[in-house]
Amino acid sequence: MKVVIVGGVAGGATAAARLRRLDEQAEIVILERGGYISFANCGLPYYIGGSIKERDELLLQTPESFHARFNVDVRVNQEAVAIDREAKTVTVCDLLVGQEYLEPYDKLILAPGAKPNIPDLPGMRSERLFTLRNIADTDAIKEFVRQQHPQHATIIGGGYIGVEMADNLLDAGLAVSIVQRSGHVIKTLDADIAAQVHAHIYAKGVKLYLNTPFDGVQQQPDGRLKVLLGNKDQLTDMVILAIGVTPDTRIAQEAGLVCDAKGGIIVNEKMLTSDPDVYAVGDAVVVKDLIGGQPALIPLAGPANKQGRVAADNIAGIDSVYRGTQGSSVLKVFDLTVASTGLNEKQAQAAGIAYGKVYLNPASHAAYYPGGSPISLKVLFSPADGRILGAQGVGSEGVDKRIDVLAVAIRAQMTAHDLTELELCYAPPYSSAKDPVNMVGYVIENLMAGRVRQFFWDEVDDLPRDGSVQLIDVRLPLEYARDSLEGFVNIPVDNLRARLSELDPAKPVYLVCQSAIRSYIAARILSQHGFADVLHLAGGYRLYSSI
């Protein structure tokens, strides 16, 4: 059996290695258009910024090392330009000599990845405008910075690549601006959680332009670029274009394989295309969203590797399936860790999935142990059964491991009650006896049982201030004096029982504290003293003020 693999990075290289481990006799050929295989594309920004010192550290395998270990015929600078499904051949162009040849196959795996979106706008061919997708792109940016000594970079797009490049270019000594078309960066986050990321970006001295259109660039007489941003035009030394990617699937479409409107290759759970001898994996394929069940393009390295393994299994006769992608991701934003998994609110609404939500601000580890910092968590759950649907987290430490646990909970269809029973590692430097994940479960359980009710940050300004409702801030007087919500009266939670006579049990009560812990306690006190209509602010004043 001869297997030809188009693309030799995450999905393609994984498929080749897995297939060899399963079948020592198969003939395996990798055709890679670029000059490198199995490189660490997620590490590219960190080489530019200097965190990764040596370029060779990005090269996880070379054609020679891969051949030596796996006996795979790896051919770089070889572009697959056409597929003849009837003849079962791939037309390949040797980019070094410009000649074409035919490569026959018994089974074909397509792992062509995705290509950066480049809009049809003025200046897109400028030598000072860059994308970042492969080693060649990295070399071009690194060399430009070394030779031209730019002072300022403008990044178009506030997604993963854009924010990572801002972080690393700042480390490289440049002033940086980020231009984002929508109202917040990192689209896997909801706007209320992204607001904390915005504050951190501003604090690092990066200029952030939100809700700002990008209309192209113009070369200036001094060689710099004018970035066209409506009425916010600015001059810069270089531009990084990071406005997303599109599946690189021209040859699949021309070969008649079924694709969606965006060009994503349609595959089944075995990673098989509409042709029984052609598989596809990675950023080029349409997968199933694990929670909502909708088809989706989710370009992430982890899923690409898993899909490559599934394709290889099936070619080798192992019944293996890929059940869907939940979009787990983590991102370093200067000193912050930002992570998410599963659905956010926008995705849940688009899928027509009912959800509740909770916000928590737990400490990263035991509060009495030095060095702790708050974690901001937002978790979506099913109101029907408490099943966890999605989670987002921002903080200086401990964020990734909490989101990882919640990612497992989503995959296992665990409920809030299941979270309360998880026995997670505890020692003061690492966590608390009640881990933040346990706390998520407790908060959701209380809501579902009706022990507490909450209102949200976007409802605060619409609350009546005419005396028809009672607005109470239960923080300490010093906290209240520093800053408070309009119309809220200060009754510290520890004084609440003694001051119940000041409140009317017949009127609704809205409570706020800094992080929603004391307001929850206050709500329980009032509920057990005859107050029937009591709500507290989810996420507390800390969340509200950050937004």
pLDDT of residue 40: 84
Per-residue pLDDT at 292 exceeds 90: no
CB 491 within 8 A of CB 474: yes
Measured at the alpha carbon of residue 255, what is the angle toward residues 253 and 260, in degrees to the nearest 5?
Answer: 25
- Collapse the DSSP code of 470 into the 3-class scheme (helix H, G, I; strand E, B; otherwise coil) and give the result: strand
Nearest alpha-carbon partner for 216 in 199, 233, 192: 233
pLDDT of residue 536: 98
- Cα–Cα distance measured from residue 241 to residue 44, given in angstroms and rounded to the nearest whole number: 15
3-state secondary structure of 256: coil
The pLDDT assigned to 29 comes to 98
Other Cβ atoms less than 10 A from the Cβ of 507: the count is: 12
Separation between Cα atoms, residue 285 and residue 265, nearest integer Å = 5
Q: Who's near 296: CB < 8 A, 6+ residues apart? A: 286, 287, 288, 289, 325
- Phi first, then psi: give them for residue 150, nearest 5 degrees: -65, 145
Q: Tell me, what's the pLDDT at 461?
A: 96
Q: What is the pLDDT of residue 359?
A: 97
Element containing residue 395 per DSSP (H, E) = strand 388-395
**Lowest-confidence range among 57-66, 237-246, 439-448?**
57-66
HSE value, Cβ hemisphere, 13 Å, CA-based, for 165: 31
pTM for the full model?
Answer: 0.94
Which residue blocks in 80-158 are alpha helix, DSSP H?
Answer: 135-148
Is 178 in a helix, a strand, or coil? Answer: strand
Distance CA 362, CA 412 (A): 24
Mind telling me the catalytic residues?
A: 42
Q: Is the dihedral of CA 138, 143, 148, 151 positive or negative?
A: positive
CB of 167 closer than 8 Å to CB of 203: no
**pLDDT averaged over every residue in the chain:** 96
117-129 mean pLDDT? 96
Query: What would the pLDDT profile of 22-40 be if each residue is shown by its tens digit?
Result: 999 999 999 999 999 988 8
Q: What is the mean pLDDT of residues 122-146?
A: 95
Rounded Cα–Cα distance for residues 65 and 74 (Å): 10
Least confident range from 285-294, 494-503, 512-521: namely 285-294
- What integer pLDDT is reported at residue 231 of this predicted model? 86
Tokens in use for 536? Answer: 């507290």
Give me the mean pLDDT over the 114-130 stretch: 96
Enumerate the β-bridge partners of residue 392. 340, 378
Question: CA-to-CA distance for 378 and 393, rounded, in angstroms?
Answer: 6
Token pair for 281: 């994996």
Task: Kindly state the percentage of the chain with pLDDT values over 90.
Answer: 95
For residue 402, is pLDDT > 90? Answer: yes
- How many residues are listed for the chain in this entry? 547
Instruction: Give pLDDT tens digits for 51-110.
Output: 999 998 988 889 999 999 999 999 999 999 999 999 999 999 999 999 999 999 999 999
The whole-number average pLDDT for the span 243-250 is 96
**DSSP designation for 96:** T
Distance between CA atoms of residues 437 and 405, nearest Å: 8
